[in-house]
A and B are shown apart, each in its own frame.
Chain A
Amino acid sequence: MRLYAVVAAGGFRRHATYRVATLAGVFTNTVFGFIMAYTYIALWDERPHLGGYDMSQALTYVWLGQALLMTCAMMGGGFEDELMERIRTGDIAVDLYRPADLQLWWMAGDLGRAAFHLLGRGIVPMVLGAMAFDLALPGSPWTWLAFLVSVALGVVVSFAVRFLVALSAFWLMDGAGAMQIAWLAGLFFSGMLLPLNLFPGVLGDVARALPWSSLLQVPADVFLGTYAGWDLAGAYAFQAGWAVVLLLAGRLLQSVATRRVVVQGG
């Protein structure tokens, strides 16, 4: 357990090293936040209370999206490039010899990364957004806490999906295609482009049931106070359910991969 705490701390510190890059990222998140906020204002001007949100809730949704884009790695950009490269080059053989669990090791590192991104890339855009627009910020500290729990679950679901994608490199060698499909799905079905409760009919039902809704839609709804009491427990259960299913699938795939696939030598 201590080992994984150290790995997580390492993941945090590693991303904290790139200060200029973080600043540049915050700038870009803020610019996109402004652009999207104005398009949402136009949309909610036309149809107030669209999707059950009022204007300030819709604007809060925009800035939550910018704040969580990196934290929940909706466009990828976590550990998966590195793991795929290790599988491709055969370095993975060394990793499998280590007295640490492969999945837990990478998850610890990714949780550390997410923690840094929440602080480094999340807070400043949110504050700037709140200064420029009238946002619906929760008054109760419990809602903030409930939100953080939901974000943490979202990060685990995001990790579990990306771990599966990365393991595909055992069979595909070049996982660029699989990774691209994964981040496309992540971007669209997390609700990053448009809240999922605006998706019409069956598309909406499917999108809300897929794991990616755990990345933004669910945490955002927790933040906006949509869930209370047992509904909140239900939202957590939805996220945790996907996390468990996907982590187990990752585990299964890992054992198949390590047993059946011949590691690339070099």
Chain B
Amino acid sequence: MEGAVAAESGIVFAERSRVVEGVRAYGLIVAMWLRSTMAYRASFVMTAVGNFVATGFDFVTIMLMFTHVDVLGGFTLPEIALLYGASATAFGLADLVLGSMDRLGRRVRDGTLDTLLVRPVPVLAQVAADRFALRRLGRITQGLLVLGYALLVLDIEWTPLKVAMLPMMVLSGAAVFGAVFVVGAAFQFFAQDASEVQNAFTYGGTTLLQYPPSVFAKDLVRGVTFVVPLAFVSWLPALYVLGRDYPLDLPRWVAFLPPLVAVGCWVLAGLAWRVGLRSYRSTGS
């Protein structure tokens, strides 16, 4: 009996140490890429500014739209700025931490994934940290700026729950997007050339969430609520903060679900990753 308990805790311990080991390895590889990035400081500054401007164009587009209208889908510019800022910041965080995973298909194709398999470090950590791009701070920065603008301008009746909702929304949203990146990478084990499919869910997802749900068709909103649960990234929590109606007559408390949804997404993403990695057959070249 005692042996069984010990063995059980041993397994738990092994699992946990693998996670710790993975995070540690991720940190080491990231540090290496940071050193290499900082060797070309001017290039880093240019690409980071470029990233900031590129992602900022999305908001410039919305501002240009608002030179012609006062409301879009029943929402004012500051209200849309809140949706936009939350979505862009959450996606930016996921993109910074896991955005390099869409290179996996290339590694499968040219056979360099084999190198990662023989190293005593979890493959997920290696793939995620591969070519870590600090310039992606540009997207987070512009997301936070827009979020800050929205919070300054909007007249919100703050409650402790609404205040807590902001960090919860951004962090869980980043986790949901992160899970999408992992599932997308797992899919590339099967279809190496199809890396663009995941752009529809990552970049497409964040573009979708920048606009209020009232803009989109019911079926599309249903799809991103129940199938790919992107609605929990920013729509539902942000609508709670704004005190606006939810789409699809969802109950009020669903705004508090994002952390649970994030955990659920990561369980599924972990499974998908394992299935993908197990099915990997080297090209042998």
- Chain A contact residues, CB within 8 Å of chain B: 18, 20-21, 23-25, 27-28, 31-32, 34-35, 38-39, 41-43, 46-47, 50, 174, 176-177, 180-181, 184, 187-188, 193-194, 198-200
Q: A187 to B57, Cβ gap below 8 A? A: yes
Which B residues are CB-close (under 8 A) to A177? 43, 46-47, 50
List 5 A-B residue pairs with CB atoms under 8 Å apart, sorted by A's residue number: A21-B194, A23-B194, A24-B195, A38-B215, A187-B57
Bound together, the chains give a CA A46 to CA B47 distance in angstroms of 37
| Any A CB within 8 A of the CB of B71 | yes
Q: B211 to A39, Cβ gap below 8 A? A: yes
From residue A1, how far is it (CB to closest CB) to chain B in Å?
A: 34
Q: B64 to A199, Cβ gap below 8 A? A: yes
B57 to chain A: closest residue by CB: A188
Q: A31 to B204, Cβ gap below 8 A? A: yes
Which B residues are CB-close (under 8 A) to A35? 204, 207-208, 211, 216
From residue B71, how far is it (CB to closest CB) to chain A in Å?
A: 7
Take A176-B43, A177-B43 as given contacts and tell me if A43 and B68 are in contact as well, using a CB distance cutoff of 8 Å: yes
Q: A20 to B193, Cβ gap below 8 A? A: yes
A201 to chain B: closest residue by CB: B67
From residue B198, how far is it (CB to closest CB) to chain A in Å?
A: 9
Take A38-B217, A177-B50, A184-B53 as given contacts and tell me if A24 and B194 are in contact as well, using a CB distance cutoff of 8 Å: yes
Which B residues are CB-close (under 8 A) to A27? 196-197, 200
Which B residues are CB-close (under 8 A) to A31? 200, 204
From residue B123, how far is it (CB to closest CB) to chain A in Å?
A: 23
Query: Could you say which of A25, A39, A43, A176 contacts B196, with CB atoms under 8 Å apart?
Result: A25
| Any A CB within 8 A of the CB of B6 | no
Q: A28 to B215, Cβ gap below 8 A? A: no
| Any A CB within 8 A of the CB of B9 | no
B45 to chain A: closest residue by CB: A177
Bound together, the chains give a CA A145 to CA B71 distance in angstroms of 39
Q: B68 to A198, Cβ gap below 8 A? A: yes
Q: A46 to B46, Cβ gap below 8 A? A: no
Which B residues are CB-close (under 8 A) to A39? 65, 72, 211, 215
| Any A CB within 8 A of the CB of B61 | yes
Which residues from 69 to 102 on chain B have a C-beta closer than 8 Å to any C-beta of chain A? Answer: 69-73
Bound together, the chains give a CA A198 to CA B116 distance in angstroms of 50
Take A20-B191, A21-B194 as given contacts and tell me if A43 and B43 are in contact as well, using a CB distance cutoff of 8 Å: no
Q: B217 to A184, Cβ gap below 8 A? A: no
Which A residues are CB-close (under 8 A) to B211? 35, 38-39, 42
A174 to chain B: closest residue by CB: B43
Q: B73 to A200, Cβ gap below 8 A? A: no
Bound together, the chains give a CA A230 to CA B193 distance in angstroms of 45
Given contacts A21-B194, A177-B46, 16 further A-B contacts (CB under 8 A): A18-B193, A20-B192, A23-B194, A27-B196, A35-B216, A38-B216, A38-B217, A38-B220, A39-B211, A176-B43, A176-B47, A180-B50, A187-B54, A193-B61, A194-B61, A198-B64
B207 to chain A: closest residue by CB: A35
Bound together, the chains give a CA A199 to CA B63 distance in angstroms of 10
Which B residues are CB-close (under 8 A) to A25? 196
Take A34-B220, A187-B57 as given contacts and tell me if A24 and B207 are in contact as well, using a CB distance cutoff of 8 Å: no
Bound together, the chains give a CA A39 to CA B204 distance in angstroms of 13
